[in-house]
Structure formats: C-alpha cells, structure tokens
Amino acid sequence: MQVGALFKPEDFAAYAGQKVLVLCDIEGAEQALLDPQLAPALAGMDLIVESHECLVAGITQTLIERFKPTHQITLVQDDGQRSLQAAPQWFANLAHLDQLLATWEWRSGPTPWLVMRALQ
C-alpha cells in the first residue's frame, strides 16, 4: 500500500475496471475531484460522498446531475440529530450538554450524503 499526497481526478484512471468503492469526505472539494468529464473511470465506481452543501451551495445537485447517467443515486439527508445506539454507560452518565457536544459535528448547515452505485 502506498499513501500519496493530493489525489487528482486523473488518478482514478489507475483503478479503472476494478471493483472500487470511493468514500469521499473532503470538506467542500468534492466538486473539483468528482468530475466524470475529467475522470471517466468514475462511471464504473461506487461512491459514498459527504456533500458539503454548507460550504459549497448547490454541490449536492451538481453531483446528482453529474452522476445521474451512470449511477443509481440515493440522497441521505442529515438532520443534525445524533443518537447513539447502545451508548456506553459512561456516556449515559454525562450531562445532556456534554452528550450534545460529544456528538455535534459543528456544522454550519446541512451535509447530506450521496450513495451512488454504478449502473455497469
């Protein structure tokens, strides 16, 4: 395994034709990286993308339009509510404010997720 630095759209080509899941959470840079015009290999890859709508207005719809021809897309809205299933006892013993702060992501707005399954 090799860990690189900046991943660019043309870098997807190295994985073309392989079974690939792209998990993308890049704080607003998804518009620049996830462009099928620049990275045609994306057409055959599954993607899970956190869409930073709070940082780049309209990014969610832009990504949906880009990938609609090649992917089945599910939009998962994030309402900001957090609940922990089977939270550890120490967490349950915290004050409510501490529980809130422990699970709050400090987002200024919505960050929906796009689950995109390649049609090929």
Task: Write out the chain's pLDDT in tens, 120 residues.
Answer: 676 788 999 999 999 999 999 999 888 899 999 999 999 999 999 999 999 876 677 899 999 999 999 999 999 987 666 677 788 899 889 998 988 888 777 766 778 899 999 998
Asked if 44 and 92 touch (Cβ cutoff 8 Å), the reply is no
Say what the pLDDT of residue 6 is.
87
Overall residue count recorded for the chain in this entry: 120
CATH number for the domain running over 16-82+109-118? 3.30.110
* Residue spans per domain, the chain: 16-82+109-118
Give how far Cα 74 sits from Cα of 6, 14, 16, 77, 116, Å: 28, 26, 23, 10, 6
The model's pTM:
0.78
